[in-house]
Amino acid sequence: MSFSFGTARLFRLEVRRSALPWLLPVVAILFWLIVYRRSDLFPPVWSIRARAMQTATVSVFLPIVVGAAAWMGGREARHGLTDLLASTVRSRWYRQVALWAATTAWSAVAYAVCVGALYVAIGRQASWGGPLWWPVAVGAACLPVFTALGLAAGGLLPGRFTAPLVSVAAFFALETSAQLIHGDHSPWQISPLVAGPWNGGADQDLATFYPYLSDLPRVQIAFLAGIAVVLVAALGLPATAGSRRQRLAAAALTIAGLATATTAAALAGTGRLDPHGMIAIPAVHDAAADRPVPFTPVCSAAAVPVCLHPAYAYELATVDAALRPVLDQLAGVPGAPVRVSQGAVRYSSDDGGGIGARLDGRQPGGDSPEFRMVLPNQLPGPPLNAENLAAAVRAMTARDIVMAVVCGGREVTDAQEAVIGALTGDPHAPPGSPVAQAAQRFATLPAADRHAWLVRNAAGLRTGGITLEQLP
């Protein structure tokens, strides 16, 4: 009983006198600058922001926590207490483990506060879903590794410059680890910076239509736990660290940690890009996670409503405004959609390590009442602001909708191209060409006449039975 109380008192003492709290303001400032403010640049969608948080937070915490731990780890030799402490009953390993636990506890508190604040902010902005905890767990699992790494370095080289040097070295090592990733089969995906397919960028729309796959995070956490055990156990290996029994236990733990970390890295190397955009690892994959997440779409109030996934509710007004001119002209036209709905993205990896993305499933053809679309912000690449989003929707989605009505999937005739150009206001034909002239002529018709003509001739236009000259 007294053992555990004594250990608890020692832990409390180390917590009270830790150097890490002095660095917490630095952590807070860096987190605010690098993670919190940057988070606002992403769409308020949990999956996007949570994954960006994981990558950025690990980078912010690494140098500070490693540096502080290295400073603490070298304190016995730096302050000339080696002899005095060696004459006490408790082993050096015991003291280092207490110090490790206290430093980890402080870093965990800082991490919880920072991530908590960010998640509250995301929660206020996100229109659908709840917090994703796997990215938080991966970031948290890094902390014991960072502190153990710092303590090991500080204990080994107890100099004044060890802390800054080891923190810079650790930062570069971590960043380099992610740069070595090539494709979805890379074992380097084990890097805690990775929160999805690395080559596709950090901004894809994952885990919205389908659950967040925990395959990679689970393997990463196992890897980090293994590395933490290796580093903490390695502190107990030197002859001066403790008794023979303790050193044997430390050796056994080191081997177990190494085996865990190696296995986890090997598993990460068996990963593949899931059709829904995440990394699936067959050995730990749960097939239940492949089922789509049920949701009720949010729709605009119009004759032809635009319906989006509720996570994208913030884009509804922009998308609806961008599509409305086209949809109003097509309302009631035979073959025109009665609803435009957002679909999920299907991802695929190519041989070059890149990622392809397209609409999941096929576009309903023929007289289907629904047109399915993918928003630009669902695709790999930087997020678009409202203005650019509207432009992209007008250029791509509006054209696709008109094409679906007037072309029916066949090769586009001149007449069809002219109608598409007239309805979208974006003629692809060269200026002055007969197609461009026909498009301009058709576009200048009164809206009611144009609509009436379309209602009468949509079927013929779709089958290619109407020529350019027959256009009014």
Partner 1 sequence: MNVEAADLTRRLGRTQAVAGVTLTVDRGVYGLLGPNGAGKTSLLRMLATVLAPSSGRLRLLDGDPGDHRQCKAIRRRLGYLPQNPGYYPRFTVVDFVEYFALLKEIPAARVPRAVAAAVERVGLGDKATARLRTLSGGMLRRVGIAQAIVNDPDLLLLDEPTAGLDPEQRVAFRALLRDLGQTATVIVSTHLVEDVGAACTQVGLMDQGRIVFSGTPDELTRRGEGTDAAGDAPLERGYSAVLTEARA
Does 247 help bind partner 1 (rule: CB under 8 A)?
no
Binding segment for partner 1 among 2-10, 152-160, 353-361, 445-453 (CB under 8 A)? 2-10
Binding segment for partner 1 among 3-11, 270-278, 317-325, 435-443 (CB under 8 A)? 3-11
Does 25 help bind partner 1 (rule: CB under 8 A)?
no
Identify the sign of the CA torsion 241, 246, 252, 254. Answer: negative
Closer residue to partner 1, CB minimum distance, 95 or 218: 95
Other CB atoms within 10 Å distance of the CB of residue 320: 22
d(CA 240, CA 273): 48
Does 239 help bind partner 1 (rule: CB under 8 A)?
no
Binding segment for partner 1 among 31-39, 217-225, 237-245, 394-402 (CB under 8 A)? 237-245
- Of these, 37, 41, 79, 164, which contacts partner 1 (CB under 8 A)? 79
d(CA 414, CA 270): 50
CA distances 353 to 156, 168, 185, 267, 301, Å, are: 40, 30, 9, 18, 42
Q: How far is the CB of 19 from partner 1 (least distance, A)?
A: 7
Closer residue to partner 1, CB minimum distance, 4 or 444: 4
Question: 3-state DSSP call for residue 342?
Answer: strand
Sheet holding 298-299, edge to edge: 298-299, 306-308, 339-342, 370-373
Other CB atoms within 10 Å distance of the CB of residue 247: 19
Identify the sign of the CA torsion 7, 9, 12, 16. Answer: negative
Binding segment for partner 1 among 13-21, 58-66, 175-183, 368-376 (CB under 8 A)? 13-21
Question: 3-state DSSP call for residue 90?
Answer: coil
Does 16 help bind partner 1 (rule: CB under 8 A)?
yes
Does 469 help bind partner 1 (rule: CB under 8 A)?
no
Residues 397-416, interacting with partner 1 (CB under 8 A): none
Which residues are CB-contacts of 32 (< 8 A; sequence separation ≥ 6)?
none
Does 89 help bind partner 1 (rule: CB under 8 A)?
yes
Does 362 help bind partner 1 (rule: CB under 8 A)?
no
- Residue 298 pairs with which residues in a beta bridge? 308
- Residue 2 pairs with which residues in a beta bridge? none
- Of these, 83, 351, 367, 411, which contacts partner 1 (CB under 8 A)? 83
Dihedral Cα 162, 167, 168, 171, nearest 10 deg: 150
Does 20 help bind partner 1 (rule: CB under 8 A)?
no
Does 444 help bind partner 1 (rule: CB under 8 A)?
no
- Of these, 29, 33, 41, 86, which contacts partner 1 (CB under 8 A)? 86
Does 81 help bind partner 1 (rule: CB under 8 A)?
yes
Judged by CB under 8 A, the number of residues near partner 1 is 26
Q: What is the binding site for partner 1 (CB under 8 A)?
A: 2, 5-6, 8-10, 13, 16-17, 19, 75, 79-81, 83-90, 95, 243-245
